[in-house]
Amino acid sequence: MRPAAAAPRRSAPAAAALLALAVVAAPAGAATRLILAFGDSVTAGVGDSRPAPDRGYPVRLQQLLADAGVFADVRNLGVPGETTAEGLLRIPSAIASGGQLILLMEGTNDVSRGISPEAIAFNLREMGRLAGQRGIEPIYATLLPRGPGDLDDPQNLRTRYVAWELRDRTYRDGAGLVDPFAVFSRTENVYARLYSDPYHPNAEGYDVLAKAFAEVLLGIDTLAPVAAFVSPADGATDVAPTSDLSFYLYDHVSGVDAANATMLVNGEPVAASLSSSVPRRITFTYRPPAPLANVVRLGVRARDLAPAPNQIEETLATFVVAGTSILTGDLDRDGRVDGRDLVVFAVLFGSARGDGRYEARADFDGNGRIDGVDLAALAANFGRSAF
């Protein structure tokens, strides 16, 4: 962790960049505002079943703003396949004609090329700086989580870290942030419902994406607090028993309700230290009074300061303490191989590396296929407990 804060509901904008300050309740006859939607294939609308030029989130966003009485021309400047380095070269021409806002959502192609999350966030911030020099306020957006079948970041580790970087940088800069990574990650059955392939939304997914942008621009808060820089990391092994537990918790619109924010360890509240100068970011730190053991689930229960608070209770990381023995077949890492593990295994059975269903954790012999050999390994431990 970094060293050291039902019906739609409106809240005070978290940053001066928000569109709510510029155009909400614009008088009749007011000039149409220009919003530049800058990004890659997701901005361009790849995967959308709508015919051109109505693909992607920008045209939907424009309609949502119009429905709210905000008159804007949301211009689609998406270029499929573009990286943030290429976007940084393109942005001077994109902003040459001016505008009021620029929406920056780019970086998934960088993730596929192994570019670091820090470099991605730096390039986006440079784009925002260049736009700001021309009087165009930047609003940043996290990336969509990658769906099953992606081989470059199958567990969304780098994509999640990009979201962490942007959550913290926008907090420190006082900039606006749209968080599609959180919105999509928290949507039930998201890949079946909202995706056309591992990287792009379908038509319903673009509806959800446009709504996420519109709510932030209008100062409407429907997203519960989000975390970043969780330590120890999710999936970590050989974690020292004396490790401290920590994370940041953010709410970029209403702020976090610190009085109702709690760290959870294995589902139980603990007396973590909280510190923050402003409610947009709360820092949680906890030193366990006794050494950690076995598998630990680090989580949070929190709500924000919206008039009708958005609440969340979720596991942020599950990690294995050094010296813990995990039985082959214990897919949920609860210390026992049982029916729950068998149900998970059954869903993955028959898949191979590269398939949407394949997960390496169930490929016990590492041959690239989840088959009878793996089933036999699970069966050999069925009913056994390690802790």
d(CA 372, CA 351): 11
**Peptide bond connecting 148 to the previous residue in cis, omega within 30 degrees of 0:** no
Which of 135, 18, 136, 109 minimizes the C-alpha distance to 123? 109
Residue 203 CA to residue 207 CA, distance in Å, equals: 6
Within 10 Å of residue 2's Cβ, how many Cβ atoms?
11
- Fold adopted by 226-320: Immunoglobulin-like (2.60.40)
Enter the pTM of the model: 0.87
Nearest in space to 173 (alpha carbons), one of 14, 1, 6: 14
pLDDT digits (tens, 9 = 90+) for 46-87: 999 999 889 999 999 999 999 999 999 999 999 999 999 999
Backbone phi, psi, residue 316, to 5°? -95, -30
User: Which CATH number is associated with domain 325-387?
Assistant: 1.10.1330.10
Backbone angles phi, psi at 73, to 5 degrees: -100, 105
Instruction: Give the domain 19-217 fold.
Output: Rossmann fold (3.40.50)
Residue among 72, 67, 99, 45 nearest 209 (CA): 45
Given this model, what pLDDT does residue 277 score?
66
CATH 1.10.1330.10 in the chain is located at: 325-387
CB 221 within 8 A of CB 253: yes
Rounded distance, CA 56 to CA 2, Å? 35
Q: Are 151 and 113 in contact (CB under 8 A)?
A: no
What's the angle, vertex CA 336, arms to CA 330 and CA 337, rounded to 5?
50
Nearest-10 Cα torsion for 227, 231, 236, 240 = -160
Residues forming beta bridges with residue 35, ordered by sequence position: 74, 101
CATH 2.60.40.1220 in the chain, residue ranges: 226-320
Q: What are the residue ranges in the chain where pLDDT is below 70?
A: 1-31, 277
DSSP string computed for 205-219: HHHHHHHHHHHHHTT
Structural tokens at position 364 = 């016990």
- CATH 3.40.50.1110 domain position(s) in the chain: 19-217
